[in-house]
Chains A and B, each alone.
Chain A
Amino acid sequence: MPIEVRSLTHIYHRGSTSEAVALKDVSFRIDNGEFVGLIGPTGSGKSTLIQHLNGLLKPTSGEVLVDGQNIWDKGMSLRKLRQRVGLVFQYAEQQVFEETVRQDIAFGPRNLGLSEREVMERVEEAARMVGLPADLLDRSPFELSGGQLRRVAIAGVAAMKPEVLILDEPAAGLDPRGRDGILSRIQEMHRGGMTVILVSHNMEDVARLCGRLLVLNKGELVADGTPREVFSRNEFVKKIGLRAPDVVNLMEKLRERGWNVRTDIVNVDEALKEILRELGKEAPVLS
């Protein structure tokens, strides 16, 4: 299910003194099965943009097309759209409200009007997908740790079986293990055929996971390309207040010192290989 955005502009509080342009003439297209990273400094319009993709915000001007259909056309059901385009908000654990984890994950699928049996099947499937142990399902969500609760919230959206999953900083505020756990689960969901859009401030994460990056700055789409293409423009990335992954900077420093290494490398594994090649050594076998 491709998503297409055409000259999307969004202005908050139009006509009042606090009027603010959040998005300016943004256009792009996301195809089935892509893993897209959405990056940009704080206040660049990332959250505003993703809320347009499932119809929570209405464009001031421009269009959002899903499957070639303008989502604001008459006769389009926004609730159906929100089932197909799932959105996990930042600090999603704050939306949890039910008495048990199972009931909370079931909230979404129940709103779809599924049979109780199917709802329960989906709950268990979603819990497995996000790596939530089955014995936690009947506990109160308020007994869980932050990382587990985040998984509950993501499962709550995943249980609706969206074709596109949008996540706003799903790993923010978690410890390294929680972070890796959640990100690798998202990676698995993508391998299972879901289109994923990941909003993140962590450049290492997006460089490692995403096949394509959209870069927003002050409401404008300023770059659209593979992580390699985006981060090889290191000066530009720095100028808008972002920072390329450490390995990009490392490779540049090595090159400055006269090493004959490539600088268009965005993840640690590639960097290791390249440095060993330069040193004329074999890559060690990592257990």
Chain B
Amino acid sequence: MMSSGVIMGQYYPASSPVHAMDPRAKILISVVFMVVLFVGNNFYAFAIMGAFAGLAIAASKVPVRLLIRGLRPILFIMAFTMVLHLFLTPGPAIFKIGSFTATWAGLIQGLFIGVRLVILIMFTSLLTLTTSPIELTDGLEDILKPFTRLGVPAHELAMMMTIALRFIPTLLEEAERIMKAQMARGADFESGNMVKRAKSLVPLLVPLFVSAFRRADDLAMAMEARCYRGGEGRTRMRQLRMAARDFVAFGLVIVIAALVIVVRIRFGPVVSRV
């Protein structure tokens, strides 16, 4: 119902080399990839990066259809930026609508931004699609660990993320149950204007918050009863270990980065600014 089309944050279970990678390597590769994607300023760079992304997608066994479906929520933003670029870039005109002029340069610039967004979304969704939430938070915790000296509560942040992810389905189920209970008392969530509909949510939200707080209390108590006292001195059941494939993948990204920088210097931007 609500989740249709949104694949960001969803996990696609499968056994593939990409799934088997160390989550830290995957997170770092994604960060480097995103930076390089914004360093690249022409279609040659995108060809290289697109090839790399395609390779990763093929290796991950995630159906391409699923990734394409994930683009749906950003279609509007993509169309919007492309239109803006089409009309707001100066240069020789293609056609005119009123006082707005569409330009060739704008068309190319718009396409360029569109392609960049597609690669960005596809590659980053691959991270969450191939990494379970638990692995993801474990990896994130490890990456943030060096910053604990600066006062970043790495373990606590990761634990909060894990708990939040764990309770999303529970809360959805609870919301549905309370909604039905109120509907049985004649509540109406569907008709009326904005104000009336917002007001009709009170009988849903109050019990939902009450129970969420109660759950949080119970969970904290249960964690303390099992001697949880934060990250200090805590060991892990699943140890994260980098393997050969992680280093190979990381090396590949570094090579890609170098290539993109070379291409950037050699060919220059897609639309040369005057």
Chain A contact residues, CB within 8 Å of chain B = 51, 54, 56, 79, 82-83, 86-89, 92, 94-97, 107-108, 111-112, 142, 156-157, 160
Contact stretch, chosen from B18-26, B63-71, B179-187, B236-244? B179-187
Q: Is B206 part of the contact surface with A, judged by Cβ < 8 Å?
A: yes
Q: Which residues of B contact A87 (CB under 8 A)?
A: 184
B207 close to A111 (CB less than 8 A): no
Q: How far is the CA of A142 from the CA of B181 in the complex (A)?
A: 18
Q: Which residues of A contact B182 (CB under 8 A)?
A: 95, 107
A97 close to B207 (CB less than 8 A): yes
Q: How far is the CA of A79 from the CA of B185 in the complex (A)?
A: 9
Q: Which residues of B contact A51 (CB under 8 A)?
A: 180
In angstroms, how far is the closest chain B Cβ from the Cβ of A152?
12
Closest to B185 in A: A108
Q: Which residues of A contact B180 (CB under 8 A)?
A: 51, 56, 89
Given A97-B202, A107-B203, A86–B184 Cβ distance below 8 Å? yes
Given A95-B207, A97-B202, A97-B203, A111–B181 Cβ distance below 8 Å? no
Q: Which residues of A contact B203 (CB under 8 A)?
A: 95, 97, 107
Cβ < 8 Å to A, chain B residues 182-216: 182-188, 202-203, 206-207, 210-211
The 8 Å CB contact of A79, one of B178, B188, B206, is B188
Given A96-B207, A97-B202, A107-B203, A89–B185 Cβ distance below 8 Å? no
In angstroms, how far is the closest chain B Cβ from the Cβ of A96?
7
Q: Which residues of A contact B177 (CB under 8 A)?
A: 89, 94
Closest to A156 in B: B185
B207 close to A89 (CB less than 8 A): no
The 8 Å CB contact of A82, one of B183, B206, B207, B211, is B183
A–B Cβ pairs within 8 angstroms, 19 of them: A56-B180, A56-B183, A82-B186, A83-B186, A87-B184, A89-B184, A94-B178, A94-B181, A94-B210, A95-B178, A95-B182, A95-B185, A95-B203, A95-B207, A97-B207, A107-B186, A111-B185, A111-B186, A157-B184
Q: Which residues of A contact B186 (CB under 8 A)?
A: 79, 82-83, 107-108, 111-112, 160
The 8 Å CB contact of B184, one of A54, A94, A97, A112, is A54
B185 close to A94 (CB less than 8 A): no
Q: How far is the CA of A83 from the CA of B178 in the complex (A)?
A: 17
Q: A-B pairs with the 3 shortest C-beta distances?
A: A111-B186, A97-B206, A108-B185
Q: Which residues of A contact B187 (CB under 8 A)?
A: 107, 111
Q: How far is the CA of A83 from the CA of B202 in the complex (A)?
A: 21
In angstroms, how far is the closest chain A Cβ from the Cβ of B76?
27
Q: How far is the CA of A142 from the CA of B211 in the complex (A)?
A: 12
Closest to B209 in A: A97
Q: How far is the CA of A156 from the CA of B207 in the complex (A)?
A: 15
Q: How far is the CA of A94 from the CA of B207 in the complex (A)?
A: 6
Q: Which residues of A contact B206 (CB under 8 A)?
A: 97
Closest to A95 in B: B181
Q: Which residues of B contact A156 (CB under 8 A)?
A: 185
B183 close to A94 (CB less than 8 A): no
Q: How far is the CA of A6 from the CA of B101 in the complex (A)?
A: 66
Q: How far is the CA of A84 from the CA of B9 in the complex (A)?
A: 43
In angstroms, how far is the closest chain A Cβ from the Cβ of B157?
31
A160 close to B181 (CB less than 8 A): no
What would 15 more interface pairs be, CB under 8 Å, given A94-B210, A157-B184?
A56-B183, A86-B184, A87-B184, A92-B181, A94-B181, A94-B207, A94-B211, A95-B182, A95-B207, A97-B206, A107-B182, A107-B185, A108-B185, A108-B186, A142-B210
Closest to B203 in A: A97
Q: How far is the CA of A243 from the CA of B70 in the complex (A)?
A: 51
Closest to A90 in B: B177
Closest to B214 in A: A94
Q: Which residues of B contact A97 (CB under 8 A)?
A: 202-203, 206-207, 210
Q: How far is the CA of A87 from the CA of B183 in the complex (A)?
A: 10
Q: How far is the CA of A157 from the CA of B181 in the complex (A)?
A: 10
Q: Which residues of A contact B211 (CB under 8 A)?
A: 94
Q: How far is the CA of A283 from the CA of B159 in the complex (A)?
A: 65
In angstroms, how far is the closest chain B Cβ from the Cβ of A85?
9
Q: Which residues of B contact A79 (CB under 8 A)?
A: 186, 188
Q: Which residues of B contact A107 (CB under 8 A)?
A: 182, 185-187, 203
